[in-house]
Amino acid sequence: MPIFALIDCNSFYCSCERICQPELKRVPVVVLSNNDGCVIARTSEVKQLGIPMGAPFFQVRDQLAAAGVVVRSSNYTLYADISNRVMTVMASMLPAIEVYSIDEAWGDMSGVQEDLTEYGKRIRARLLQWVGMPVGVGISTTKTLAKLANWAAKKWPATGGVVDLTDPARQERLLRIAAVSEVWGVGRRLAARLRPLGIETAWDLAQFDIGTLRKTFGVTLERTARELRGISCIGINEGPPPKQAICSSKMFGRKLRDLGPIQEAMATYVTRAAEKLRQQQSLCGALQVSLQTQYHNPELPRYANGLTCPLATPTDDTRDLLAVALRGLRHIYRPGYAYSKCAVLLIDLSQRGEVTPDLFAPAPRRGAERLMSIVDQINKREGRGTVRLGRVPVEPDWGMRRDMMSRCYTTNWDELITVGA
Q: What is the DSSP string of 154-168?
A: HH-GGGTTEEE--SH
Kindly give, in sequence order, each residue whose CB lies less than 8 Å from that of residue 282, ignoring residues fewer than 6 positions away: 242, 243, 316, 349, 350, 351, 352
Query: What are the beta bridge partners of residue 133?
Result: none
pLDDT of residue 365: 82
d(CA 99, CA 83): 10
Question: Which residue stretches of the chain have pLDDT < 50?
Answer: 421
In CATH, the number for domain 1-166+404-421 is: 3.30.70.270
183-240 CATH fold = DNA polymerase; domain 1 (1.10.150)
Which residues have CB under 8 Å from 383's CB, separation 6+? 411, 412
Can you tell me whether residue 137 is helix, strand or coil? strand
Alpha carbons within 13 A on the beta-carbon side of 342:
34
* DSSP 8-state secondary structure symbol assigned to residue 240: P
Q: Residue 8 has what pLDDT?
A: 96
DSSP state of 337: -
Give the end-to-end CA distance of the chain in Å, rounded to a whole number: 55
Number of residues in the chain: 421
CATH 3.30.1490.100 domain span(s) along the chain = 246-382
Buried residues in 199-222 as b, exposed as e (16+ CB within 10 A): bebbbbbbebeeeebeeebeeebb
Range(s) of the chain covered by CATH 1.10.150? 183-240
- Determine which helix (DSSP H) or strand (DSSP E) holds 285, and give its type and residue range: strand 282-293
State which fold the 246-382 domain adopts: Dna Ligase; domain 1 (3.30.1490)
Q: Could you tell me where the beta strands, DSSP code E, fall in 175-281?
A: 246-256
pLDDT at 381: 84
Neighbours of 146 (CB within 10 A): 28
- Domain span(s) for CATH 3.30.70.270 in the chain: 1-166+404-421
CA 136 to chain centre: 18
Contact between 7 and 137 under an 8 Å Cβ cutoff? The reply is: yes
Q: Is 63 exposed, middle or buried (0-12, 13-18, 19+ CB in 10 A)?
A: middle
Q: How many CA atoms lie within 13 A of 148 on its CB side?
A: 36
**pLDDT given for residue 238 in this prediction:** 56
Quote the pTM value: 0.80
Residue 421 is predicted with a pLDDT of 47
Q: What is the dihedral of CA 268, 270, 276, 277, to 10 degrees?
A: -160
Residue 175: per-residue pLDDT: 96
